[in-house]
Amino acid sequence: MNASSAYSKIIKKIKQYFENSEYKNAVIGVSGGVDSALVLKLVVDALGPERVAGIIMPELGVTKTENTNHAKALCNFLGVKTFTVPINKFLMEYAIMPWKPTQSSQINLRPRVRMTILYNYANAGEALVIGTSNKSEILLGYGTKYGDLAADIEPLGDLYKTDIYKLAEHVGLPKEIIEKAPTAELYKDQTDESELGASYTSLDNVLRKLNLGKMVLIEKGMNPAIVNNVFSRVSKNKHKTEGPYIIEITEEE
């Protein structure tokens, strides 16, 4: 990937998207990680800081103070309107539901609560929600349906995770953000790569060659466990990036 070319194309596309829409403003959930930091930088470069809002949504006791501080510092440096909204009080209401929560329901609750906050601001501020998912996450289904995978536009949606780091360096993001272990902080000390079972470098090596098929990649010497893991995730989680299944009953004329 040519970082300079990718940057120019993304900026152009963001500008075009907003010019063609009825909206002028943008809102982004800023976590302190490299993906949201890069998206914030790109959108500010495309639209100007006066049209961008960053919302920082830590879960107190889970989100590392370092990440919140990085998010605040970047928002302040770029000059965007900034809000900090801890999500703990919203999570408490779900703790008293009349059914027993599971680990999956609790983990997925975090990004869904954050997305409702973003869309609440979007409706109030006549803004569009900017997503922060990259191509690796989207293909693997590594995200929450109607949570962090929900957005109006995904500036990084055609960039693999390993491309993100190159573009982040190109635009001058701080090293302390780029070099951190990627994490959605869905629970204490969680990291993306530990959950995915492989490094993003290994995962991207497979994702870039999905069209060759599983057996061909294994025959070429790729780690069978990683290849099987990737193909399984891509197949199982495809529904996350597709619209709801519509049952068609209208007969053709």
Domain locations along the chain:
3-194
Per-residue pLDDT tens over the stretch 42-70: 999 999 999 999 999 999 999 999 999 99
Q: For residue 208, count CB atoms less than 10 angstroms from its CB and return exposed for 0-12, middle for 13-18, buried for 19 or more.
A: middle
d(CA 136, CA 199): 11
Q: Are 203 and 228 in contact (CB under 8 A)?
A: no
Cβ contacts of residue 58 below 8 Å, gap of 6+?
67, 68, 84, 86, 87
The dihedral through the CA atoms of 94, 95, 96, 102 has a sign that is: positive
Q: What is the pLDDT of residue 187?
A: 83
d(CA 154, CA 8): 15
Higher local confidence (pLDDT), 162 or 1: 162
Q: What is the pLDDT of residue 252?
A: 65
Q: Is the pLDDT of residue 36 over 70?
A: yes
pLDDT band (50, 70, 90) for residue 185: confident
Per-residue pLDDT tens over the stretch 110-164: 999 999 999 999 999 999 999 999 999 999 999 999 999 999 999 999 999 999 9
For the chain, the average pLDDT equals 95
Question: Domain 3-194: which topology?
Answer: Rossmann fold (3.40.50)
Region 11-35: mean pLDDT is: 97
Per-residue pLDDT tens over the stretch 228-249: 999 999 999 999 988 888 999 9
Output the DSSP codes for 191-219: -HHHHHTS-HHHHHHHHTTGGG-HHHHHH
pLDDT band (50, 70, 90) for residue 1: confident
d(CA 136, CA 193): 12
Per-residue pLDDT tens over the stretch 65-114: 999 999 999 999 999 999 999 999 999 989 889 999 899 999 999 999 99
Q: What is the pLDDT of residue 253?
A: 58
